[in-house]
Structure 1
Amino acid sequence: MTESDVSAELNELRRLADAGSADATDELIQLAAEQGNIDELRRLSDSGNATATDQLIEFATEQDDMDELRRLADGGNITAAEQLEELTAE
């Protein structure tokens, strides 16, 4: 699969997800997580998708991305706050 094929697939998944397709949203989250696409996970998380938020927290924790965890914690996410606390305690 070429880069343009991947880009076209992402665009189609975004279109379907934005139109309310739960399957497309799930697939988009999985693809973004596999690719480490934090921007896509953030976009989906910011739109209220809890699964994307969980994936974003997991990715940020693995990458020691304190800024992302802090952003989520500041937005009221308890799990992000707990992860941030654990990482800063180490």
Structure 2
Amino acid sequence: MDEELRKLRVLAAAGDSDAVDQLVELAGERGDFDELRRLADGGSSDAVDVLVELAGERGDLDELRRLADAGSGDAADVLAELTEGQ
């Protein structure tokens, strides 16, 4: 698996959108926030979506705030839902 991930990262860095999609899927399955953040920072809106979903499921308000501050309306919505009434 490590070799597969390495190859996917190389392909993704070279602009292969299929590799990015695979990395997002694998990182989401593993709950790998670091990988998802790296992909999101590289412009993957799918990675942002998965981060929002995982952070919402975990109640990770700091991550949701970070994503909302970076412009994610979905993160802002989830954050508002989780902090409603606090």
TM-score, length-scaled by structure 2: 0.93
**Number of residue pairs matched?**
85
Aligned-partner Cα distance in 1 for 2:72–2:31:
21
Q: Deviations over 1:14-35 (max 9, x none)?
A: 1001101111111111000001
Aligned-partner Cα distance in 2 for 1:61–1:77:
13
Code of the residue aligned with 1:89 in structure 2: it is E
1:58 — aligned with what?
53
Does residue 18 in structure 1 map to residue 16 in structure 2? no
TM-score, length-scaled by structure 1: 0.89
CA-CA distance at 1:9 after TM superposition: 1.3
1:3 — aligned with what?
none
In structure 1, the gaps of 5 or more residues are: 1-5
Between the aligned residues of both structures, percent identity stands at 54
2:68 — aligned with what?
73
Q: How does 1:26-65 map to 2 (within 5 A)?
A: 26-65=21-60
Aligned residue among 75, 85, 88 for 2:80: 85
Aligned-partner Cα distance in 2 for 1:81–1:54:
12
CA-CA distance at 1:47 after TM superposition: 1.3
In structure 2, the gaps of 5 or more residues are: none
Aligned-partner Cα distance in 1 for 2:29–2:70:
25
Greater than 2 Å deviation, 4+ residue runs: none
